[in-house]
Amino acid sequence: MRPRLAPPALVTLVLLQLITMVVMFGWYRHQSLTSTASPPAQRKVHVLLLSSWRSGSSFLGQVFSQHPSVFYLMEPAWHVWMTLGRGARSLRMGVRDLLHQVLQCDLSVMDSYMPPERNVSRLFMWSHSRALCSPPACTLTPRNAFSNQTECQKHCDSRGLAKAEEACRSYSHVVLKEVRLFELESLYPLLRDQSLDLRIVHLVRDPRAVWRSRDQSASSFYRDNAVVLEQGDGKGLEAQYRVMQEVCRSHVRMHETALLKPPDFLRGRYKMVRYEDLARDTLAQVEAIYRFTGLEMTQQLQDWIFRITHGKGKGTRKESFQITSRNAEDVSRAWRTTVPYEKVRRIQEVCKGAMSLLGYRTVDSEKEQRQLDLDVLSPREPYKFSWLPSKTTKRSSNG
């Protein structure tokens, strides 16, 4: 007993079905396009500021931390490395999971890495976080004011991490700075997690300038060196070269992963920033970084950035993050007059790939090194990947 339909009715039905399908398909396409192009404004944004030691990430971290919409934490993975202290590779997933939890304002993960009495002051570099010096974490600094680490340290410690979690939940942006990550692949589950809106800012710096800065306090890096190298005590010149090599390799790896063949969920979520560009043109660079992460620039922030980059850099050295305009040029150049050419040559050797990829020109003699008017910085964009078809190279990192 099948219902019989006259041919015209059948045609109408099929047509109706077709129209419905086309409309539905269009709607889905629209949904998926708009959701990747501009995530809903009210959604929380999660930012990982990835960098390496002595690359200006404290400064860029403050640029986030002092923003009134941001909950910021510095180096949460420090806890993993210092507690477990084995090779970086075996800590990778622990670091990943910790970042995942902390981005979601869940600090219970610290249970594995902190003594049972978990005060806010036990969080590594906690007073660098303006949000931990402001309500609801602390009454000291109004949310739209700039915090002072020294004052915060004196007045804002509290028992337990509940207030820090509450503070975290009350901001539209959570930003974590991390130098202890050497690839992007381990972050894929975070990028795929529908409850996160993750953006990655990758800050790099001329390895020769990094070397000079690290060399000034070499012993403070021994422990981290040993973790990076997965063996030894992290001391000695050769260990330093090998750490530089690992850091440089990680820059290349991340940059290529994000720009050459990025999986869909990584597309448009990665932005590379060179320290030198940040130092030369701070305001424009910060504006671009804010735009990428959906943060608004305010007059108050502009004034603050101007102040800390044009300060005297003497008495307030700690507060000015050593990126005063004069300093920035001096510091960028210091390696050229102070590091022996033989060392420069070795660094260039171990960092060859990264330097050419990121636009840092090598010097081929001591004479070139000392010749300060010789600019060693290539224009930032567009990058020329000679081994790539030009179609792919057109995409810049400015996502």
Ligand X SMILES: *[C@@H]1O[C@H](CO)[C@@H](O)[C@H](O)[C@H]1NC(C)=O
Residues of this chain that bind ligand X (CB under 6 A): 117, 119, 121, 148, 150-151, 157-159, 316, 319
Residue 247 CB, nearest approach to ligand X (Å): 31
| 46 vs 293: CA distance, rounded Å | 8
| 87 vs 218: CA distance, rounded Å | 20
Helices (H) and strands (E) counted in the chain, each on its own, are 18, 5
Residue 164 phi/psi, 5-degree rounding, is -65, -40
Which C-beta is closer to ligand X: that of 130 or that of 208? 130
Residue 110 DSSP code:
G
Which C-beta is closer to ligand X: that of 150 or that of 216? 150
Which C-beta is closer to ligand X: that of 161 or that of 200? 161
Residue 231 CB, nearest approach to ligand X (Å): 34
Whether the CB-CB separation of 145 and 67 falls below 8 Å is answered with: no
| Nearest Cα residue to 183 out of 249, 104, 98 | 249
Residue 159 CB, nearest approach to ligand X (Å): 4
Residue 155 CB, nearest approach to ligand X (Å): 9
| 19 vs 215: CA distance, rounded Å | 69
Which C-beta is closer to ligand X: that of 150 or that of 371? 150
Which C-beta is closer to ligand X: that of 150 or that of 231? 150
Whether the CB-CB separation of 76 and 102 falls below 8 Å is answered with: yes
Which C-beta is closer to ligand X: that of 145 or that of 288? 145
Which C-beta is closer to ligand X: that of 315 or that of 379? 315
| 278 vs 332: CA distance, rounded Å | 11
The encoded tokens of residue 280 equal 């030369």
Which C-beta is closer to ligand X: that of 158 or that of 325? 158
Residue 282 CB, nearest approach to ligand X (Å): 18
Residue 170 CB, nearest approach to ligand X (Å): 20
| 105 vs 99: CA distance, rounded Å | 10
The encoded tokens of residue 45 equal 């944004």
Whether the CB-CB separation of 173 and 293 falls below 8 Å is answered with: yes
| 84 vs 80: CA distance, rounded Å | 6
Residue 115 CB, nearest approach to ligand X (Å): 8
Residue 147 CB, nearest approach to ligand X (Å): 9
Residues 6+ apart with CB under 8 A from 5: 13
Residue 316 CB, nearest approach to ligand X (Å): 5
| Nearest Cα residue to 210 out of 179, 178, 244, 238 | 244
Residues 6+ apart with CB under 8 A from 191: 198, 263, 265, 266, 269
Which C-beta is closer to ligand X: that of 59 or that of 211? 59
Residue 156 CB, nearest approach to ligand X (Å): 9
Which C-beta is closer to ligand X: that of 300 or that of 316? 316
Whether the CB-CB separation of 209 and 331 falls below 8 Å is answered with: yes
Give residue 34's identity as a one-letter amino acid code. T
